[in-house]
Structure 1
């Protein structure tokens, strides 16, 4: 009997894997229909007919909508209650992450990762184990950067997804958990700073800092002009502007070891001997950890393998990189995020 129960439990788990793709695409559908936004705007649970009236597609197949909502209630995205005998749907805690405008919403990130072109490379995962090149390159015939350049319509949602992940979630954790990190320095350059939203939040929290984002010319051209943040266009592989602190936030995990060492060496040249440091915000991988976020970190390592050819690194791997680049000292700070903070001291 015990063996039979184990087999049944294993059967349930493997079926979850088999249909895991469906759950995220159901959530994508809910975002496209604006279901969470409709309920949030109403401020109270809605009946199916009330929800149907506000969904921006017509005519709505009522039976299909009911079955979709029924499944998302089971997913704990929405709630269901029947105070007067009629089903009413409200927002569960998970559903709040699908509300546009909330500072912790995951809408852009979900839409980006479920884009067809970003899902196709996973079908070529097996091929990426043979020879050189990522699964993305083997699926689409170009790197992810080349794809963005060729399809500018994908660049905006991709940048919004990155801002969703790094600014609304990671940066808030960085500011709250590492206030001492920015004391003792007067200037900070965010290398690969993208739209500058992360640096804007840091500059507002630490007004003594002279904050600058540094990125490729086309990225800087498209970035908002925040008054708190200076913008410099350039190439991190050729030059990095001088500052007391250099911030590398989710940059090095995109790259191979040789490129990481090259960038870290340039960072070392750009900070002063007295008090200068490089702040790396990236995952410190421990596959044996029982931390609930370990699976997410390992999954992100596969993301790097599929899309960029980079990797998530263990502390031993980070130490090896830093030593090779001329950083004899470092310390790791764990924050309320998937990533950690590595303070690297070049002298």
Structure 2
């Protein structure tokens, strides 16, 4: 800082080239990007070995030797394990106490999100997003820039939806990942939008997967008649739940009638043209008196300094690679909703990556 408190201006060499300090900083930035792929895979290794669960079940703290003895492996090299844990401490997943000869580990708040079984667990999301086949399309991103196909189609030879239908085990992992994301999102949705659900007599969750969101909504608002609507193979694999009806079908053809329609993490999968078609089908399914469509998706603001802006922007590239869809700005949402013949909308921001858009057809 300068004596007057203003930030020090960056200095350049007389020839206009960056200083050594600037060059080092730039190299650091690029190295971090180059090895950016490593962090989720190191994290996946820890989760597959159940390390967060082992620490949690051990009273919240464990030594290196104790951890090595509890891992589901026939043999553990403690030096290798120490080095993996050292990096996870650097990632702020674990806390470390003591030195190399007498070291112990505990969970940080982020680490606690990687224990299994809790409503806030992000384990299914991590495992779903980092499975090998889902990493392949990212290597074909440049081939998807033509707009004629997606990177997923270029890499896998089929659309993501065809892939999931043909690979039940991968589809189950994908759905479990979506269910994990839904559990986190639904907590914020219910807490932040209770008034939005009050007065609703019936609700259809279009593309509702295994019904994770509707089970929570049904418990919180037992007066609502809840219906989960999805493709036949998804409904067939879902589990029956008291208070939630299951209906199979195609949202491009028709949507079950209800006072309110909800679409959570659906429209970002599709092109503008397809979104307008879906919105029109939803409009046909709600009554003119009081009917509404609840859209739960990202509202992108690239200029925002909010801590969730980067995840929102990465999700946009995720859609580009895998589905051909996109995350949308408020201007984009305005265009879609009005183009589908709706009268207006209201955006609610909640404690999640996504926001809630109440769209009013009539």
Partner of 1:97: 113
Give CA deviations for 1:200-258 in whole Å, capped at 9, x if unaligned. Answer: 10011011111111111111111111102111111111111111100011111101111
Q: Match of 1:195, SS?
A: coil
1:331 corresponding residue in structure 2: 346
Counterpart in 2 of 1:212?
227
Q: Which residue of 1 aligns with 2:71?
A: 55
Q: 5 Å matches for 1:1-347?
A: 2=11, 3-82=19-98, 86-166=102-182, 168-347=183-362
- Judge conservation of contact 2:298–2:354 (CA < 8 Å) in 1: yes
1:85 shift after superposition: 6.5
Distance 2:60 2:196 in 1: 42
The SS at the match of 2:203 is strand
Residue ranges of structure 1 left out of the alignment (5+ in a row): none
Which shifted more, 148-157 or 299-308?
148-157
- Equivalent residue of 1:98, what SS? coil
Contact kept, 8 Å, 1:121 with 1:136, in 2: the verdict is: yes
Superposed CA offset, 1:306-343 (max 9, x none): 00001111111111111111102111111111111111
TM-score by length of 2: 0.93
State whether residues 254 and 310 of structure 1, in contact with CA within 8 Å, keep that contact through their aligned partners in structure 2.
yes
Answer whether contact 2:301 2:329 (CA < 8 A) is retained.
yes
Distance 1:49 1:126 in 2: 46
Give the paired residue count. 346
Residues 60-113 of structure 1: CA distance to partner in whole angstroms, max 9, x if unpaired?
Answer: 112111111111111111111129961111112211121111211111111111
1:131: Cα distance to partner? Answer: 4.8
Distance 1:85 1:140, change over 3 A: closer
C-alpha distance in 2 between matches for 1:97 and 1:8:
34
Task: Please give the alpha-carbon distance, in whole angstroms, between the structure 2 residues aligned to 1:341 and 1:150.
Answer: 32
Runs of 4+ in 1 over 3 A off after TM superposition: none
2: distance between equivalents of 1:134 and 1:84?
48
Question: In the aligned structure 1, how far is the partner of 2:92 from the partner of 2:280?
Answer: 48
Q: Which shifted more, 76-85 or 20-29?
A: 76-85
Residue 165 of structure 2 contacts residue 233 of structure 2 at CA under 8 Å; is this kept in 1?
no
